[in-house]
Structures are given as structure tokens and as C-alpha cells.
Amino acid sequence: MFEKILIANRGEIACRVIKTARRMGIKTVAVYSDADADALHVEMADEAVHVGAPPAAQSYLLIDKILAACKATGAQAVHPGYGFLSEKAEFCNALEAAGIAFIGPSVRAIGAMGDKIESKKLARAAGVSTVPGVLDVIPNAEEAVKIAREIGYPVMIKASAGGGGKGMRIAWNDAEAREGFQSATNEARSSFADDRVFIEKFVTEPRHIEIQVLGDKHGNIIYLGERECSIQRRHQKVIEEAPSPFLDAATRKAMGEQAVALAREVGYHSAGTVEFIVDGARNFYFLEMNTRLQVEHPVTELITGVDLVEQMIRVAYGEPLSLTQDDVKLNGWAVEARVYAEDPTRGFLPSIGRLSHYRPPAEGADEHGWIVRNDTGVYEGAEISMFYDPMIAKLCTWAPTRIEAIHAQRAALDGFYIRGISHNISFVSAVLGHARFQEGRLTTGFIAEEFPDGFHGATLDAASRDALTAVAVATERRTAEREVQISGQSPFHGRVLPPDWVVTIDGDERAVVVDLAKGGYDVTFEGRLLAIRTDWLPGRKLLRGTVNGRAVVVQVDALADGFRLFHAGADIIAVVRSPRAAELARLMPVKVPPDTSRLLLCPMPGLVVSINVELGEEVKAGQTLAVVEAMKMENVLKAERDGKVAAVKAKKGDSLAVDQVILEFEGPGPRRRPARGRVTP
């Protein structure tokens, strides 16, 4: 077996590979940029080599720097993770020339599957079901419109060398086909240095279901079930699960056998994924093959018990697979939620900064036998950089059934305490709690259909509202109990804690009565009893306990006049007052937020790519005002209504903070809005 391997990546996937290598007794080498000098993967590895400046093009993508690091450390093989150099044939060739093993497939397989156009042609030749479309390169926008009309709207315009949701546009009419062609071409050129695009039919009621394949260098290829990846936002996966709640055994077998046939056609070895689009009648069509480890591979590992990273390493060393297709058994259900540094209430704009608090839920099995796994590449105090993907962690749960795995995931999310930057935990928890998700009625349009106006916070159901009412008054009462025990108080002037309180959540007042009980409190309101039992103490960030016997986990942040509580995707402010204080609070004036209608504010920390208007210019609704780039995303800011530019406060190349002023307008401003299809995913 290899004695030392280098991981040509960063973040959670580098940490993930290091864990398996350590278990196998293999030493590891990390590479890092200036921005990652203090990163977790650097700390975990046995050795670390600096490879350049923060931008990936000046560090992680430099093949010569990676080769030099291998030679300097004596690394015998390289694991590329995903992204960066993982699917670059020239990187594989360079490693082979240097006598270093590549922990991945052959150059032939990478080349054949790395081009979306050529891979679809190859799939058709191999007898794999493909989506109707034109795979020839589209020369211009008018030709794109002509082809789209022939196929029939809606169509998908895709970059041939695309990935990660970049260079993809859906067009429903001629105008969108023209605009989509230009946008997809521009993104493909900037992201992949390859502006070729093609067009295919957009499948309605589509599900994104992928098959995990695994092959060795001796001709053995198997599939390890499927993953349902339909919950996507702008073509970026958000929640994945295995198996799919939609497939039956016959469809699973047919998809698996086609995936293996395609892999065999290109002589595939190592772990790979064949992605399909599946319609409402379980017809499936080849989408693409990813010749690398997928981000969502942990859910497959949880239901099969197969360590895919270990298998990749063993295959790269030349070992035959130790299991056959008959050995693959699917056990239970696994769900993965991608935790991102982004603000879902601000259009999912990226968030950067320091993780002032980072306390993930405990990993391992709980009293139910449910398993929590957290793949991450950060730690408390780490920085979320603007130079890389905003992923913080991949939180995975396993349970015997799908609904139990979902419940386990939501409970784990409730206990995932992150502060210092914005994150999407409230959003993914709300999706998991949605009735349609729990019923398994999924499509790739789920988020757009269920959250058409964006995400503005989860809606509390009656049980959760009751639970938070009990938690709010219990935390206030226990805090008050601590305060009355402070030493040095004047005799006979101690504070007496009354049983009557008023709890206000989202403007809704509830008069409650609190009585001390064994292990907690009995909270009574509206003739109902909420028995809350908890050992929470002031200063703790998580309250764990039960409300009427139902387990709850609530994040608790003390405020000047109450508590900020997070539970079941809801992030609310709860204020607990005495009846007299509540009476006086009703008389207080309401604080009105400042009027920013005359200002164009930067929606996220980022770099100004362009200012598209000038001082004194009359702008119209829908006109592009500026473009801001952050975390590899290009955000086009457009006017919501007509107006006149009164001042230009930023210029191309400026690095702006969130809510920093870009433009001012005369009178009520046109504000800004991201235009449909113009925000780079």
C-alpha cells in the first residue's frame, strides 16, 4: 500500500480523505494557499506545503506546484478530492510522467466524460437513455433560438465543460434563449476557459437521481445504489438522500446496469457517479458522468457501509475490488444537508468572516440508534474566505427509515450552533420539515415552487410555538432564579419571583403561569399544561430537554430584553415580562427602520466587477446597475423601477462590505433586484 499520499484540495474534502488515510496507516501531505495557512486540513495532515496566493488559479490549480510538493515530500500518490484538478486530464498526464499515482480514473475516462457533448454522444452509442437535444456546439444566439424552437420550449442551455451549476440556463421563450445563450457562454468562458454550449430539452417534473459506480483496474465494476439530489437551488444541490424515495427496484436495477455499461465503455476504474434526470413516469435520461468523488458521497457510505475513499486508494494501488454486486446491500436511510455560509433571507447571498462560534452536533449513534456524521473543514475561530466555496459542513444522519432520518437531521440541525457569519441552517431545516418533502414528492423545481418569493424564515407550527413558549419562560425563570441568589443582597429585600409572566413571540402575547416542578417547570396557559424538563443553565448555548415528553433542542442567545431562540428552522425573538412590564411595553413607540429606497446597497461582501450607469443617467426598471462578484458568483444588480442616478459611490475593482452604498438616486430610488436568470449560481 502507499506509504504517503498528497491531497490536492482543501476544506472538508481534504479532511475527509485524511481521516481514511490515517485509519489505513497512510501518511498525508496537505497543500495550502496563503488564505488557508491556518486551515483545519493543514493541521490534520502529517505534512503541509505552501502552494501560492489565495485565488485558486494562483495556488490549488497550479499543476507544477502540486508536482513540486509531491517530489519534495515523497508522496507516491495524489487524491484530488472534487473540484480544482480532480477532472483535469492534463493533471493526470503530468502525474503519470512524474511516476506519481492518481487516485482516480484513467485519463481516457476523464476526457471522454469531461465534455458534456462528447459524453452524451458516447452514452447514446453505448445504449444509455439520453435527453432529446442537439449536442453540436451552438455558434450564436440566433442559432440557439432556432434549435430551441425545433426541440420545443422549455430548453436547457448548457456549457459543454460546465459543472457546479455554472454555465446553465433554462429558456422558456425566444428572448430567454438569446439571453441564456449569452450568459451561459460568458460564464463558461470565465469559469472553464471554454465557451462551447449545447441545447437539450428541459424535462418537466424532473428528479435528479445519480448512481454511484465503483470499478477496479481488473475489469470489475459495480454500482452502489442511488442518491436523490433533487433539492437544488439554481442547479446547486442543497439536500441529498439515499436511497431515493421514488425509485422502485426495477428502475434502480435498470439505472444501475446502464451506469455500469457506460463505465465499462470507457474502461472506468475508481469511484464515479452517473447522473440521470428522471421524469414523473420513472423514465430516466443520462445527464453526465462525474469522474471523481461526489460531494454527497457520505449518504452512500452510510447505507452501504463502504468507505469510498478507501476503495479509491486501494484501486489506485492496483488491488481488485473486495466486493461484488451481490455483496451490495442497502441498509436504512441517510440524509445530507449542505451547510453553507450564506444568508437565505437575503437571496442566499454569500457571507464571509470569522466563525466566532462553531459547535456542531456530536457525531455517532444516539439512544435511538440514529447516527450523526459531520464532514467539515473548519473550526471555531476559522475564517470563511471570499476566495472559495462557501460550504461550512455536510451534516449527515442515518436511521432505519426515511422519516426517522429526516427527524434525526432536523434535531441535529437544531443543535448546530454557528455564529459570526450567516448560514442556511434555518432554510434547510424548513425544507426538511415541509410536508411535500416528507412525503417524497420531489422535483428539481421544489425550492422555486415552494419558496417562490424567497425564504423569509420558517413558519412555526402549533407544537413548535408551544415548545418555544415553554422554553422562553423556562430560560427567563431560571435566569431570574440565578440572579436572586447573588450574594451581598440587603436582608429582607430579596426579589420574589412571581408565577405570572407574559411571553411575546412575533408580536403574539401569551399570559402564562409558571410553577416549579421536578427537573423543570410546569407552564400553564389557555387552560393547557406544558411540562418542560431541562437541565439548562444560564450561559449555555443549547437547551436540551422535553416539552410534554417530546424531545427538543433549542439554541439560546440571551438579549438585553429577551432571548433569541432557534428551533425547527425558526429564528425568533422571545421576550418574557411581568404583566406590568408587558402593559408598559405596549405603550412604547415602534422603531421604524431607515428609508434606503434611494440607495443601491451592496448585497454581500464582494468585488465590483462593473458599474453600468453614470452620474445623472436616467435608468429604467430592469436595467443593469452594477455587477458584484463574491465566492465565484457573479451577481447582477438590476433596477426595480425608474429613477435618476444622483451619485456613484463605488467603482470597478472596489472591495465592498455588505450594505455599503454603491449608488444614490434622486427621490425614491429604483432599488436593486437580481434579474431572473442573471445571477450566476
Report the CATH fold assignment for 205-331.
D-amino Acid Aminotransferase; Chain A, domain 1 (3.30.470)
Above 50 in pLDDT, residue 678?
Answer: no
Assign 429 a pLDDT band (cuts: 50, 70, 90): very high
pLDDT the model gives residue 100: 98
User: Cβ(351)–Cβ(342) under 8 Å?
Assistant: yes
Above 70 in pLDDT, residue 671?
Answer: no
Above 60 in pLDDT, residue 521?
Answer: yes
| Strand, coil or helix: 679 | strand
Assign 598 a pLDDT band (cuts: 50, 70, 90): confident
Above 90 in pLDDT, residue 640?
Answer: no
Quickly list H helices, 445-587. 446-450, 462-484, 579-585
Quick one: which of 562, 552, 541 has its CA closest to 380?
541
Q: What is the pLDDT of residues 542-561, one digit of tens each?
A: 999 999 999 999 999 999 88
Assign 605 a pLDDT band (cuts: 50, 70, 90): confident
According to CATH, the superfamily of the domain at 333-454 is ATP-grasp fold, B domain (3.30.470.20)
Above 50 in pLDDT, residue 680?
Answer: no
pLDDT the model gives residue 391: 93
Q: What is the pLDDT of residues 68-101, one digit of tens each?
A: 999 999 999 999 999 999 999 999 999 999 999 9
Above 90 in pLDDT, residue 489?
Answer: no
Above 80 in pLDDT, residue 493?
Answer: no
Report the CATH fold assignment for 599-679.
OB fold (Dihydrolipoamide Acetyltransferase, E2P) (2.40.50)
pLDDT the model gives residue 253: 97
Above 60 in pLDDT, residue 540?
Answer: yes
pLDDT the model gives residue 209: 98
pLDDT the model gives residue 636: 86
Q: Write the burial class of residue 393 (CB in 10 Å: 0-12 exposed, 13-18 middle, 19+ buried).
A: buried
Phi, then psi, of 562 in degrees rounded to 5: 160, -150
pLDDT the model gives residue 681: 31
Q: What is the pLDDT of residues 371-402, one digit of tens each?
A: 999 999 999 999 998 888 889 999 999 999 99
User: Cβ(168)–Cβ(153) under 8 Å?
Assistant: no
Quick one: which of 221, 200, 238 has its CA closest to 681?
238
> How many Å apart are CA 320 and CA 573, to the nearest integer?
57
Assign 118 a pLDDT band (cuts: 50, 70, 90): confident
pLDDT the model gives residue 163: 65
Assign 168 a pLDDT band (cuts: 50, 70, 90): confident
Domain at 462-483+498-585, CATH from 3.40.30.10, 1.20.1250.20, 3.20.20.70, 3.30.700.30:
3.30.700.30
pLDDT the model gives residue 674: 42
Q: Which residue has the cell 490536492?
A: 8
pLDDT the model gives residue 679: 36
> How many Å apart are CA 40 and CA 61, to the nearest integer?
20
Above 80 in pLDDT, residue 494?
Answer: no
**In angstroms, what CA-CA distances link 577 with 370, 501, 574?**
39, 6, 10
Report the CATH fold assignment for 132-201.
Dna Ligase; domain 1 (3.30.1490)
Above 80 in pLDDT, residue 166?
Answer: no
Q: Tell me the mean pLDDT in the region 583-590.
A: 90
Say which amino acid occupies 367.
E
Q: What is the pLDDT of residues 229-248, one digit of tens each?
A: 999 998 889 999 999 999 99
Assign 162 a pLDDT band (cuts: 50, 70, 90): low
Q: Tell me the mean pLDDT in the region 331-347.
A: 94
635, containing H or E segment: strand 633-638
Sequence-ordered list of residues with C-beta below 8 angstroms from that of 677, at least 6 positions apart, any chain: 169, 170, 176, 179, 180, 183
Mean pLDDT of the chain: 91
pLDDT the model gives residue 164: 62
Q: Taking the domains of the chain in order of start, what are their residue ranges?
A: 4-103, 132-201, 205-331, 333-454, 462-483+498-585, 599-679
Say which amino acid occupies 280.
G
Assign 673 a pLDDT band (cuts: 50, 70, 90): very low
The lowest-confidence range among 63-67, 179-183, 552-556 is: 179-183
Does residue 400 have a cis bond before it (omega within 30 degrees)?
Answer: no
pLDDT the model gives residue 90: 95
3-state helix, strand, coil in the chain (%, to 5): 30, 35, 35
Task: Indicate which residue of 288, 296, 342, 634 is catalytic.
Answer: 288
Phi, then psi, of 672 in degrees rounded to 5: -140, 150
Assign 254 a pLDDT band (cuts: 50, 70, 90): very high
Above 70 in pLDDT, residue 146?
Answer: yes
> How many Å apart are CA 603 and CA 638, to the nearest integer?
12
| Strand, coil or helix: 382 | coil
Say which amino acid occupies 281.
A
205-331 and 333-454, same CATH topology: yes
pLDDT the model gives residue 631: 65
> How many Å apart are CA 169 and CA 584, to the nearest integer?
55
pLDDT the model gives residue 591: 81
- Extract the runs of DSSP E, i.e. beta strands, from 255-352: 270-278, 284-290, 333-340, 342-343, 349-350
Q: What is the pLDDT of residues 446-472, one digit of tens each?
A: 999 999 999 988 888 888 999 999 999
Q: Which residue has the cell 489565495?
A: 54
Active-site residue flag, 288: yes
Assign 490 a pLDDT band (cuts: 50, 70, 90): confident
User: Cβ(374)–Cβ(393) under 8 Å?
Assistant: yes
Above 80 in pLDDT, residue 190?
Answer: no
pLDDT the model gives residue 632: 61
- The CATH-assigned architecture of domain 4-103 is 3-Layer(aba) Sandwich (3.40)
Assign 670 a pLDDT band (cuts: 50, 70, 90): low
Percent of the chain with pLDDT over 70: 96
